[in-house]
Amino acid sequence: MSSHHINPHSLLAPSVRLLIERITRAGRPPMEALTAQQARAFYDMGGPMLDLQPPPKVDRVQDIRVPVRDGHTCQARLYAPHSDTALPVLLYFHGGGFTVGSLITHDVLCRQLSRHGHCAVVSLDYRLAPEHRFPTAQHDAWDALLWLKAQGAELGLDTRRIAVGGDSAGGTLAAVCALMARDAGISLALQLLFYPGCTGRSNLTSHHTFGKGFLLDTSTIEWFFDHYIDEANRDDWRFAPINAPDHSGVAPAWLGLAECDPLVDGGMAYADTLRMAGVPVDLEIYRGMIHGFATMGRALPDALRLHADAGRALKHAFENWTS
């Protein structure tokens, strides 16, 4: 029987199916029925309810401020285990379609990455659309990386060992920062990408297969994109990193993808693109999982496996790093 006759919902893990049923019963409004500001408040409040409670303990949690190019200062949060020596650091960009998401929604994930990776994590509160459209988020992300490289030692960080990471739209920001770092001659230990957005169009098979009823609908993706970017810019590689003219020489990549995710084909295509350019790539596909599962550790046990796998990849990259 050919695969296109399979009901895609049958691929879902039982835990995911249960979660989707619960959310459907609760009558959650689709994001596109809300204003961006309402959607943000909704996500800040509702998102953490699916995550680990209480949040895992980390020795050091410190709010910091990161200056960026136009005089604005971004909030950021530093997570770190106790250490007598300078710690390697992951600069993390949260997901949320460039429109929603915050330090709150990704607090647990950053704690987990710090614990499992035995490293510091700096989570950046970059500016969101529609108030700040493309390329503001990318500028904030890149400026934060330059700032961390220059100033991180004052925070007890080892600025020779830096990785970038993010989920969904944050994965886009991280992938683009990896390309920009290569062009600027900055060596990164790793790019850690959870179900990143790699293409500027919703036209891949997975967008159709998993485009409705899998928590991230294609209609929501388009709503995010419309808030963030003009149609004319959607093929710009700073939004769709797969369109970069050359991927050789970028940092090694670890990708964690969800099988039942409209973005999964784009993530796999990006992994292939990097491999073809000679970049070391580690690709994990989490069967039966959906977009966003990394921040649903309370509802989905597979999230904990993802945290451990990603942490191991970070630890390994930092231990074997020679810049």
Q: Which residues are catalytic?
A: 168, 261, 291
Beginning with the edge strand found earlier in the chain, give each strand of the sheet holding 190-194 in spatial order: 60-67, 73-80, 120-125, 87-93, 157-167, 190-194, 253-260, 281-290
Which positions ≥6 away from 234 have C-beta within 8 Å? 200, 201, 225, 240
Q: How far apart are CA 249 and CA 187, in angstroms?
A: 9
C-alpha 63, offset from chain centre: 20
Amino acid symbol at 90: L
C-alpha 282, offset from chain centre: 16
What is the Cβ-side half-sphere exposure of residue 38, based on CA atoms within 13 angstroms?
A: 8
Tokens of 185: 């001659």
Place of tokens 């996500």: 43
Angle of helix 136-151 relative to helix 169-184, nearest 10 degrees, comes to: 60
Does residue 269 contact residue 242 with C-beta atoms inside 8 Å? yes
Question: What is the SS3 assignment for 214?
Answer: coil
C-alpha 21, offset from chain centre: 25
Burial class (CB in 10 A: 0-12, 13-18, 19+), 231: exposed
Place of tokens 């989570």: 123
Residue 179, H or E segment: helix 169-184
